[in-house]
Chains A and B, each alone.
Chain A
């Protein structure tokens, strides 16, 4: 829900001593990403992507560090980060299962996939298993309508899914 700004004002910000945006990443971004754009702010999405890729989610401290790096106020980075579905402001399961629920996938039976996952994992869409291994999400169109139904598991797209082959995909995860 792009326009709902997630809770922020009353949130406790956990701090840790070790920075999320460490010196190596900082140097890499400074050399590779910053020169691409006329403003530092334009590097917001690439910087957040890099941080999330490394940490699997974006803690507030990471956003604040990104803001410092980009020469922005933390609220500006939070403003941007809350807008985008991909940026995860809460910790997620080790594997994020994103089942597409848009029209072609619904016509091709995504509901049975979601039901099967509910049963298998014992969670509702939006939930995370107690062992922290899986988070189940339903998402909008993944651009795989010709091979519907489909789902992303972390960064890998799985197409032409059936309950059986999705089960296999999940069982084979390391």
Chain B
């Protein structure tokens, strides 16, 4: 199984179809001359409900981390009431290991804008905000330029070909974040968009009912929206010819993994980068074919499947399939962003866990005690173990602490703590020997035990 032709990378030279050295920004003219905005015209000839039905039928799942079916999300919106409704595009991409949305923003921003316009038409949303992380300075400028071009081409604005939506001219704005990972969480993003600190909200209400400015709001990842034009252009059946179906006879509750996917690969491989392939390729294929093998011919030790929140794959999981069922099958949280971080035999897993905990303790928004305090404690414990000052009890303490934090154990508001939970638990469980080797078997006894009867 391997992708026949590039879809998201159709205009972005990427191995094996093209040489990344030839990449350049696709401006409006080149976008139009290569078939761009044709899918939008096709969607505009369809009823909004037909567009949603096509996306539903394609079984497209969100590419931002959670894998929620996009068509179903779009279907949750209440009926129109004539007031404003929003699309917020999640371009906050801050999960370590993830740099895939950046490829689209750097080189083919109109693909995203076309997806946005189709979504606005389908869901009757009049205003789109693209929330892009603050550190993406160059990307924000590129994107703004593309947005300006799209206004001139009447995708958005007073003379938009979308017509009026909710009795308003459709608008699309770039909104820059300011260096906070948590603002990638959808409700934190909304708070941040409203000009407040990025504190995730309790759900329900879900954003589709009461999102930005307490109005119905759809939130989708950049890659999710960027694939929509192809689905409209070539149809759900074509989309489902790529990727991986659910196992034969499996109930619909088992997620299918249709379509192409952008994979990021970084760490100890010869050719790191972003590649496009079918959903469901094996980690080994990604490393050997796209990554051109392990750096220095070293042995594979482990890999993070999709951003550090997802936990880790061990040495015996080299052939794990990168699809939406990876979590259940291989004991991790999920596919996440498919930003794979590869580690060779020389990697110290205690240091990996320490690095990850520092990230989470730094990025915790601080609302929930288990997350705010727990991630910090784990970071301290891991620093101590790494420095050789830990005891075997510390390992159990790590497992106890990590296992108790997160929205799944029900102790926190959002999924950041689940990320810390899964990362630490799976690293400790799958690489316990690394930890055992660093700790003292018995705690130091600080008190001198005196023989009975002295004095």
> Which residue numbers of A lie inside 8 Å of B, CB to CB?
1-4, 36, 38-39, 41-46, 48-49, 70, 79-80, 82-87, 101-104, 106-108, 139-148, 152, 155-157
Q: Are B96 and A103 interface neighbours, CB within 8 A? A: yes
Q: Are B268 and A3 interface neighbours, CB within 8 A? A: no
Instruction: Give CA–CA (A157, B138) in the complex, Å.
Output: 8
Q: Are B366 and A41 interface neighbours, CB within 8 A? A: no
Interface pairs (21), CB distance under 8 Å: A2-B181, A3-B365, A4-B366, A44-B196, A46-B175, A49-B134, A79-B197, A80-B197, A83-B197, A84-B177, A84-B180, A102-B308, A107-B267, A107-B343, A143-B93, A145-B267, A145-B339, A146-B274, A152-B135, A155-B138, A157-B137
Q: Are B273 and A146 interface neighbours, CB within 8 A? A: yes
Q: Are A70 and B96 interface neighbours, CB within 8 A? A: no
Most buried by B among A3, A38, A85: A3
Closest residue on chain B to residue A70 by CB atoms: B195
Closest residue on chain A to residue B272 by CB atoms: A146
Q: Answer whether residue B304 sits at the interface, using C-beta atoms and an 8 A cutoff.
A: yes
A80 CB, nearest partner CB in chain B, Å: 6
Q: For window 305-342 of chain B, which residues contact chain A by CB distance below 8 Å?
A: 308, 339, 341
Q: Are A44 and B180 interface neighbours, CB within 8 A? A: no
- Chain B interface helix/strand/loop/mixed: mixed
Q: For window 31-81 of chain B, which residues contact chain A by CB distance below 8 Å?
A: none
Per a CB cutoff under 8 Å, which of A45, A143, A147, A155 touches B178?
A45
Known contacts: A85-B179, A140-B94, A146-B265. The answer to whether A36 contacts B173 by CB under 8 A is yes
Chain A binder among B228-236, B238-246, B347-355, B392-400: B347-355
Per a CB cutoff under 8 Å, which of B351, B359, B372 touches A141?
B359
Instruction: Give CA–CA (A103, B372) in the complex, Å.
Output: 20
A145 CB, nearest partner CB in chain B, Å: 4
Closest residue on chain A to residue B371 by CB atoms: A3
Q: Answer whether residue B227 sits at the interface, using C-beta atoms and an 8 A cutoff.
A: no
Q: Are A48 and B97 interface neighbours, CB within 8 A? A: no
Per a CB cutoff under 8 Å, which of A80, A82, A143, A144 touches B195?
A80
Q: Are B176 and A45 interface neighbours, CB within 8 A? A: yes
Q: A2-B364, A41-B194, A141-B96 are in contact. List 19 more A-B contacts (CB 8 A).
A: A2-B362, A2-B365, A38-B84, A41-B195, A45-B177, A45-B195, A46-B176, A49-B176, A70-B195, A80-B196, A85-B178, A86-B134, A86-B135, A86-B178, A101-B358, A108-B266, A141-B94, A145-B264, A146-B272
Q: Are A145 and B343 interface neighbours, CB within 8 A? A: no
Closest residue on chain A to residue B133 by CB atoms: A143
Residues of A within 8 A of B364 (CB): 2-3
Instruction: Give CA–CA (A48, B84) in the complex, Å.
Output: 26
Most buried by B among A44, A139, A152: A44
Known contacts: A46-B176, A103-B355. The answer to whether A155 contacts B137 by CB under 8 A is yes
Instruction: Give CA–CA (A38, B129) in the complex, Å.
Output: 12
Q: Are B179 and A145 interface neighbours, CB within 8 A? A: no
Closest residue on chain A to residue B213 by CB atoms: A38
Closest residue on chain B to residue A157 by CB atoms: B138
Q: Answer whether residue B356 sits at the interface, using C-beta atoms and an 8 A cutoff.
A: yes
Instruction: Give CA–CA (A9, B266) in the complex, Å.
Output: 44
Known contacts: A84-B179, A103-B304, A155-B137. The answer to whether A141 contacts B171 by CB under 8 A is no
Q: Are A39 and B194 interface neighbours, CB within 8 A? A: yes
Q: Answer whether residue B99 sits at the interface, using C-beta atoms and an 8 A cutoff.
A: yes
Closest residue on chain A to residue B308 by CB atoms: A103
Closest residue on chain B to residue A42 by CB atoms: B195
Residues of A within 8 A of B352 (CB): 103
Instruction: Give CA–CA (A84, B390) in the complex, Å.
Output: 34
A47 CB, nearest partner CB in chain B, Å: 9
Per a CB cutoff under 8 Å, which of B193, B339, B366 touches A3?
B366
Instruction: Give CA–CA (A101, B94) in the complex, Å.
Output: 13
Residues of B within 8 A of A85 (CB): 178-180
Instruction: Give CA–CA (A84, B339) in the complex, Å.
Output: 25
Q: Are A83 and B198 interface neighbours, CB within 8 A? A: yes
B292 CB, nearest partner CB in chain A, Å: 13
Q: Are A140 and B96 interface neighbours, CB within 8 A? A: yes
Instruction: Give CA–CA (A103, B98) in the complex, Å.
Output: 11
Q: Are A145 and B272 interface neighbours, CB within 8 A? A: yes
Q: Are A103 and B198 interface neighbours, CB within 8 A? A: no
Known contacts: A85-B179, A102-B355, A140-B94. The answer to whether A108 contacts B195 by CB under 8 A is no
Per a CB cutoff under 8 Å, which of A36, A45, A46, A104 touches B97?
A104
Q: Are A104 and B193 interface neighbours, CB within 8 A? A: no
Closest residue on chain B to residue A87 by CB atoms: B178
Q: Are B97 and A103 interface neighbours, CB within 8 A? A: yes
